[in-house]
Structure 1
C-alpha cells in the first residue's frame, strides 16, 4: 500500500499545479488533482511555492484550512466514487449531487461524513465503518 508522507503529498499537488500552469503532460492522478485545484483558486498561492508549502503549518491553532488535506480528500473521494468503494458510495454521491445541484458541493458534504467516520475509527480503535459512512452521506 502506498503511504505518502506529508511532504510527498504537498510536493505532488505543487507539481501537478506547476505542470498545469506550464501546459505539461499530467499523469492520470495529476489530472484529477488538477481538476480539483482549478476548482479551488484560493489555494493557488499555497501551491505555487513548493518550499513554502513544505514548511507551512496548518495546525488547528493557526486557524487556516489545510489546502493539501482538502485537495487530498477530494482526490480520495473521487477515487472512492470511481471504483464504488465502499459499495454504494457512487449512488449516494449521485443522489447528493443532484439534491445539492453541484458535484463539488456534494463532495464537500461527503468530506464531513468521511472526517466523522475517520474520527470515530481513531477514537474506537476499530476500522472505519463503511455502512455508517454511506448512511451518513444518504442522510445529507
Structure 2
C-alpha cells in the first residue's frame, strides 16, 4: 500500500497546481488534482506557496471555525474519484452518480460523500475496528435516495 507522508501530499497538490497555472504538462493524477483544485478557489493562495503549505498547521478547532485543511479536503475528492473509477466498494459509482444527478452537481455530491467517508473513518478510529465499507455505501445510498 502506498502511504505518502504529509510532506508528499502537500507537495503533490502544490506542484499539480503550479504546473496547471504554468501550463506545464500534467500527469493523469496531476490533471485530476488540478480539476478539483480549480473548483476550490479558496485554496489557491495556500497551494501557491509550497513553503508555507509544508509548515501550515490545521486543527479540529480551525475546521469548526470554517478553515478547512485543503490537503485533506482535496485528498478526499481524489479518494472518492478513485473509488468511483474502480467501483470500490462495489456500488459506490452508482450511488455517487445518483447523488450527483439528484443534486445536479458532482461537486456538491462529493461533499456529501465526504461526510459519509469521514463518518466511516471516525467510527473506525473510535471503535478500533477496520473501516466498514458497507455502512459507508449505505450512508451514500441513503443520501442519494432521500
What TM-score do you get using the length of structure 2 for normalisation? 0.94
After superposition, the CA RMSD in angstroms is 0.8
Match of 1:5 in 2: 5
Shift of 1:124: 1.1
Match of 2:34 in 1: 34
User: Residue 81 of structure 2 is aligned with which of 78, 94, 98?
Assistant: 78
Shift of 1:130: 0.9
Shift of 1:23: 0.5
Mapping for residues 16-35 of structure 1, pairs under 5 Å: 16-35=16-35
Between the aligned partners of 1:31 and 1:41, the Cα distance in structure 2 is 16
Shift of 1:61: 3.0
Over residues 29-77 of structure 1, what are the superposed CA-to-partner deviations in whole Å (9 max), with x where a residue is unaligned? 1110000001001100100000000111111233421011000000000
Gaps of 5+ in 2: none
User: Residue 69 of structure 1 is aligned with which of 54, 67, 72?
Assistant: 72
Aligned length, in residue pairs: 140
Mapping for residues 1-140 of structure 1, pairs under 5 Å: 1-62=1-62, 63=65, 64-140=67-143
Between the aligned partners of 2:61 and 2:84, the Cα distance in structure 1 is 32
Between the aligned partners of 1:106 and 1:134, the Cα distance in structure 2 is 14
The runs of 4+ residues in structure 1 deviating greater than 2 Å are none
Gaps of 5+ in 1: none
Over residues 61-107 of structure 1, what are the superposed CA-to-partner deviations in whole Å (9 max), with x where a residue is unaligned? 33421011000000000000000001000010011011111000000
Between the aligned partners of 2:108 and 2:61, the Cα distance in structure 1 is 26
Larger deviation, residues 122-131 vs 54-63: 54-63
